[in-house]
Structure 1
Amino acid sequence: MEVNMAALNDFSTFDLYSDDSLIFIIDEQEKLVPALLNGQAAVERTALLLQAAAELQIPVIKTEQYPKGLGETVEPIKSLCAKVDTACYEKLDFNAISNEIRTKLRLSGRQRILITGGEAHICVLQTVRALLKQGYFVFVAADAIASRHQFDYDIALKQMRDMGAVITTTETVIYDWLKQAGTPAFKHLVKLIK
């Protein structure tokens, strides 16, 4: 029996490459993170991704929702962003894709966008939807996003998966970027993961 290759899914949409990836950090801020279920855990996973970004030269876009009211980006994310190519934007819209960010994404040439931040069912969801509409391959690090309520988080993950985003984890992303053991990047990052 022959396999109809045209009928198979195009699994290339599930591949992550460090030279085609960009990390998009949404609203991990001083007054928001403490209100989120697993907010601190999401911050820790985002920090690990930023350390990988520094090692693998992956650019970052970071947003802050109304920083006057919700505060600045939390540490250690704020400090780690200073060590990588990071573009920072303030916003009021829940969908983080402003014209300025749309242009930044286009100019980056990166097609695989990894999402972290909060809240999963509001700003993350609306941003993921906008990115998918624009034709990007969107990956959501489930352990690096958070919501105030578990139910909202769970439904948001299902919605994003149904829309076409790849739901993944921080560790899966890092190993996918690395591709193999034995490299200097692997030797550095494996110490942070273990």
Structure 2
Amino acid sequence: MDRDQVLPRSPELMGPHDTALLVIDVQQRLLPAIPNRETLVWNIRRLIDAAKILNVAVAATEQYPKGLGATAAPLAERLGPRLEKLMFSCRECSALLDDWRRAGIHRILLCGIETHVCVQQTALDLLGLGFRVYVAADAVGSRYEADYRTALRRMELCGAVLTTAESAMFEWCVRAGTPEFREISRLAKESPPSEIA
């Protein structure tokens, strides 16, 4: 197909330059209570790796790290300094949000824990601030299934877009046939960890 004839991309799709990844409170003392935590961390790690490959902005928060500990090691080693907060919502990190807005970022993909507390409150506040919000449903978690499911439903009803880690990676990538695509494909072909009950 002639590239001059390619139709414009849907405004519903995330792009690598207009989107940021926000990793919310994936902390050592919170994780043990989260079902499927190994898969959750694996999906978040793949999102972080994909974001770095495709130059997508990434930031992470920690809720009261003095009490809840630092970010889980497999993620912390890939992230820069994490923003500390006491509010459940990441709207407390206003300097980061202002920086992203100035950089032309108007879409934010959320991942982390817990779905019904910090992730949900952040999503609703970001929507109120005019951001387009996406939630990687396989990269967020809660202690209880009812809280997880209800939070996803509420966020979606309020305007957040539900997606998955793999879908987001390929959405950021846009096209095949590039070195970046090969790296994203490698991430997509990884096998998920085996969960031990």
1:128 to 123, 130, 135: 123
The answer for the alignment partner of 1:77 in structure 2 is 75
The answer for the alignment partner of 2:103 in structure 1 is 108
The answer for the alignment partner of 1:65 in structure 2 is 63
The answer for the alignment partner of 1:22 in structure 2 is 20
Residue 168, structure 1, aligned to residue 163, structure 2:
yes
Equivalents in 1 of 2:135, 2:28: separation in Å?
22
Give per-residue Cα distances to partners, 1:64-91, cap 9 Å, x unaligned: 0010111101021111114xxxx62101
5+ residue gaps, structure 2: 1-8, 190-197
Q: Please report the TM-score for the alignment, with normalisation by the length of structure 1.
A: 0.88
Runs of 4 or more, structure 1, over 6 Å off, are none
Q: Do 1:63 and 1:90's aligned partners in 2 also have CA atoms closer than 8 Å?
A: yes
In structure 2, relative to structure 1, the CA distance for the partners of 1:177 and 1:102 (3 Å cut) is closer
Instruction: Choose between structure 1 and 2: higher helix proportion.
Output: 1
Give per-residue Cα distances to partners, 1:8-63, cap 9 Å, x unaligned: xxx94521101111000100001111111222211110100111111111111210
Equivalents in 2 of 1:81, 1:23: separation in Å?
11
Q: Do 2:110 and 2:119's aligned partners in 1 also have CA atoms closer than 8 Å?
A: yes
Q: Do 1:33 and 1:40's aligned partners in 2 also have CA atoms closer than 8 Å?
A: no
Q: Please report the TM-score for the alignment, with normalisation by the length of structure 2.
A: 0.87
1:178 to 169, 173, 177: 173
5+ residue gaps, structure 1: 1-10
Residue 192, structure 1, aligned to residue 190, structure 2:
no
Aligned with 2:177: secondary structure? Answer: coil
Q: Do 1:13 and 1:137's aligned partners in 2 also have CA atoms closer than 8 Å?
A: no
Q: How large is the Cα RMSD of the aligned pairs? A: 1.5
Aligned with 2:23: secondary structure? Answer: strand
**AA partner of residue 34 (structure 2):** L
2:135 to 106, 123, 140: 140
Give per-residue Cα distances to partners, 1:103-144, cap 9 Å, x unaligned: 233233211100000100000000000000011111000000
Aligned with 1:189: secondary structure? Answer: helix
Mapping for residues 141-160 of structure 1, pairs under 5 Å: 141-160=136-155
Mapping for residues 5-44 of structure 1, pairs under 5 Å: 12-44=10-42
Among the aligned pairs, what percent are the same residue? 40
Q: How many matched pairs?
A: 180
Aligned with 2:29: secondary structure? Answer: coil
Residue 97, structure 1, aligned to residue 91, structure 2:
yes
